[in-house]
Each structure stands twice: as structure tokens, then as C-alpha cells.
């Protein structure tokens, strides 16, 4: 199988072929004219120094060299070679809160949208690490598994909203349980969890699960989305707000102490994100400074450039055409009875 680096340059072969056909037709017309040029003795005297076969050979060499040069420019790739690829990195599992409280707008444009924005920025800064995502509300689900395909991960991330999980609530413990199951149990290092949430927890087992996860080598970082003053939870496309049974507005407040304690138990760091924060640069540095391992080693084949062969053939054709004489050096001897 053959591939070409610049297949669009193949159009140059059309004028090359047309020019060569025109040259052959022109040469045939000149040959007919020479046959009608004077008698045999005149032709011998005038054209004896010209070697027509060599002239034709020089033309062929010129056009062959030009054709090989065009082929070299097209960039043919043939054959295959084996390449070994090694990547160093860690496994990063984002645990994203998608409960309705994440629609609160104390962080603009909303807690959830700000979380997605910060995750995108973290992905931009990672260097060969595998990433995955768990979304949770009343239950937890693996949104996409650990992967090094960042483009696909962004597509899944952009699809996240608070309607993704129908069972409402905030159960961080279940999300941590799923994170432990998702990671490779054989490895005791190179694993980190980043929880992005407003800290509301309706279960209470999160600290216990975080301690168990830390014992397996998982580092847990937490990111607090929201403000301590809180904000109402919008419903019905933002035109109304959630109310309790007595008709009063429900205000969702960032549970910062819970997230701080979760990060402490998980041997990680806590970062608060609000409208004045500068992002998660410190968290990214913590992830990048972790001890890394070889995540994947695989071999693949790829086409190898072969344009050098055609370029060499073109050089040979042009060189031979240049040095090949097209006539004789000696002058013809004039035989005359008057000499």
C-alpha cells in the first residue's frame, strides 16, 4: 500500500505528460522537414555533427528527470516501520457534582458551568496523563473511563448538565466508591481524584470512604464551587427558584469545612473557586509533580518516506542529460574534386 504526503501535487503530472506528448509530436515534424531538406550530400555536410539518437535520449532523460522530481514532491510513502511509544503520567479521575444545587449562580455563569470550564483548563495543562470522569447526584455513574484521548473527553465533558442524573441528591461516598473500583487495583500509586462540588452531602460516609481510598494510594483533591453566602437554586429555565415545603426559597451554601476535611483525609489539597479566584493552577502543579509511571507502551506501524529515491533518480537523469553530448566534436571533411 502506498500513501502520499502531498497528493494534490499530482495535478502537475498532467501538464508534464502533455508537454512530453507535444515534444514527441514536434520532433516527428522536425524529422519530416529534415528529410525534405536538400539532397543526401547536403544533409551529410550540414547535419553530420548532429547525433539525433543522442538528442532524443537527452529529451527522454530530461522528461524522466522532471517526472521523478514531481513524484518526489508528491511525497510517496511506502513500506512500514515499527515504532515503540511510551507515555509517562498519572491517572486523574474527575468527580463532578451534577445535583441541581450546581445550577446556583453565585459563581458565574453557574457552579456547574464554572466547574466544566476549570476541568477543561486542567486538561489543557496535563502532559500525557490519562483522565476519566464520574458524575454524581443521588447516584454515581462513570461518564467516561480513563483515556488519553483528550478530544473525546472534552466532548463528554461538554455534554454534562444537571439533568444527566434523574435521581437527585448529593452522595459523594458513592462516587468515591466508584472511583476506587475504576482505578487499577494492582497499582498503589499514580492515582488521583479531583472532586468538584458545592460540598452538600446527604450520606455522611464520604470521609470514611476517602480514608479507605487514601490507604490504597489514591490522592483526593477537592474543589469548592460556590460561596459561603450561598445562592438560590434556579428551576424552570431560571425563571423560578426552588422552595421548601413552607414556600421559602432554598439557599444552597458552599460546605467548605466538609470539603477541606475530605481533602485532608485524602492526602490532597482543597481549592475554592469563586468569581475572584484565578483558577486551579496550584492543583495542576500538584498533579504534575506527582511521581509518574509508564501508562502505556505499544507498537504501531507507520508509512516511511520514500521521496528520496525519486529525487535521486531525478538527479541522475538531469546529470546524465547534462553531460551527454548531442553531437560530434570533429568537423566533417569536405570532399571536393576542386580541393
Tens-of-pLDDT digits for all 339 residues of the chain?
Answer: 677 888 888 898 899 999 889 988 887 887 776 666 655 555 555 566 666 677 788 888 888 989 999 988 988 887 766 666 677 788 999 999 999 889 998 898 999 999 999 999 999 998 878 999 999 988 999 999 999 889 999 999 999 998 888 887 778 999 999 998 988 766 657 899 999 999 887 677 889 999 988 888 899 999 999 888 888 888 866 678 888 778 788 888 899 999 999 999 999 999 998 887 767 888 999 888 887 777 665 666 667 788 888 899 999 998 988 887 765 555 555 555 544
Sign of the CA dihedral running 146, 147, 148, 154: negative
Residues 271 and 122 in one domain: yes
Backbone angles phi, psi at 127, to 5 degrees: -130, 80
Q: Select from 232, 91, 213, 97 the least CA-distant residue to 153.
A: 91
Residues 248 and 124 in one domain: yes
Residues 61 and 205 in one domain: no
Q: What is the CATH number of the domain that holds 173?
A: 3.40.50.410
Residues 50 and 108 in one domain: no
* C-alpha 108: how far from chain center: 30
Residues 185 and 281 in one domain: yes
Residues 156 and 188 in one domain: yes
Sheet containing 3-4, strands listed edge to edge, beginning at the edge strand earlier in sequence? 3-4, 76-89, 293-305
Residues 18 and 148 in one domain: no
Structure-block grid coordinates of residue 255: 460546605
* Strand blocks (E) in the chain: 3-4, 76-89, 91-97, 130-136, 140-147, 191-197, 218-225, 231-232, 234-235, 240-241, 251-252, 270-273, 293-305
Phi-psi region of 218 (alpha: psi -120 to 50; beta: other; left: phi over 0): beta
Does 7 fall in a domain? yes
Does 335 fall in a domain? no
Does 65 fall in a domain? yes
* C-alpha 311: how far from chain center: 31
Residues 133 and 157 in one domain: yes
Does 81 fall in a domain? no
Residue 147 lies in domain: 86-297
Query: Bridge partners of 194?
Result: 94, 221
**Residue 339 pLDDT:** 45
Does 329 fall in a domain? no
Structural domain total, the chain: 2
Give the pairing of strands 140-147 and 130-136.
antiparallel
Does 228 fall in a domain? yes
Amino acid at each position: 500500500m502506498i500513501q502520499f504526503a502531498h497528493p494534490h501535487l499530482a495535478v502537475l503530472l498532467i501538464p508534464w505528460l502533455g508537454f512530453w506528448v507535444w515534444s514527441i509530436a514536434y520532433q516527428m515534424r522536425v524529422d519530416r522537414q529534415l528529410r525534405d531538406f536538400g539532397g543526401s550530400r547536403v544533409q551529410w555536410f550540414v547535419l553530420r555533427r548532429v547525433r539525433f539518437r543522442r538528442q532524443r535520449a537527452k529529451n527522454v532523460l530530461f522528461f524522466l528527470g522532471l517526472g521523478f522530481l514531481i513524484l518526489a514532491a508528491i511525497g510517496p510513502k511506502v513500506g512500514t516501520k515499527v515504532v515503540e511509544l511510551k507515555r509517562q503520567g498519572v491517572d486523574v479521575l474527575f468527580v463532578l457534582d451534577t445535583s441541581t444545587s450546581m445550577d446556583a449562580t453565585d459563581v458565574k455563569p453557574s457552579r456547574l458551568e464554572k466547574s466544566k470550564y476549570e476541568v477543561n483548563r486542567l486538561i489543557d495543562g496535563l502532559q500525557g496523563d490519562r483522565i476519566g470522569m464520574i458524575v454524581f447526584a443521588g447516584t454515581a455513574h462513570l461518564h467516561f473511563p480513563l483515556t488519553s484521548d483528550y478530544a473525546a473527553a472534552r466532548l463528554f465533558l461538554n455534554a454534562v448538565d444537571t439533568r444527566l442524573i434523574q435521581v437527585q441528591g448529593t452522595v459523594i461516598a458513592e462516587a468515591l466508591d466508584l472511583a476506587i473500583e475504576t482505578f487499577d487495583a494492582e497499582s498503589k500509586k499514580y492515582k488521583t481524584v479531583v472532586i468538584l462540588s458545592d460540598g452538600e452531602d446527604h450520606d455522611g460516609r464520604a470521609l470514611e470512604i476517602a480514608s479507605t481510598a487514601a490507604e490504597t494510594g489514591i490522592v483526593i483533591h477537592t474543589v469548592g464551587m460556590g460561596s459561603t453566602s450561598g445562592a438560590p437554586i434556579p428551576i424552570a429555565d431560571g425563571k423560578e427558584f426552588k422552595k421548601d415545603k413552607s414556600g421559602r426559597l432554598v439557599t444552597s451554601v458552599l460546605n467548605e469545612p466538609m470539603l477541606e476535611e475530605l481533602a485532608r483525609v485524602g492526602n490532597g489539597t482543597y481549592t475554592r473557586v469563586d468569581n475572584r479566584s484565578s483558577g486551579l493552577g496550584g492543583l495542576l502543579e500538584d498533579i504534575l509533580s506527582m511521581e509518574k509511571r509508564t501508562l502505556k507502551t505499544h507498537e504501531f506501524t507507520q508509512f516511511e518516506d520514500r521521496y528520496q529515491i525519486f529525487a535521486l533518480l531525478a538527479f541522475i537523469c538531469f546529470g546524465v542529460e547534462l553531460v551527454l553530448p548531442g553531437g560530434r566534436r570533429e568537423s566533417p571533411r569536405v570532399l571536393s574534386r576542386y580541393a
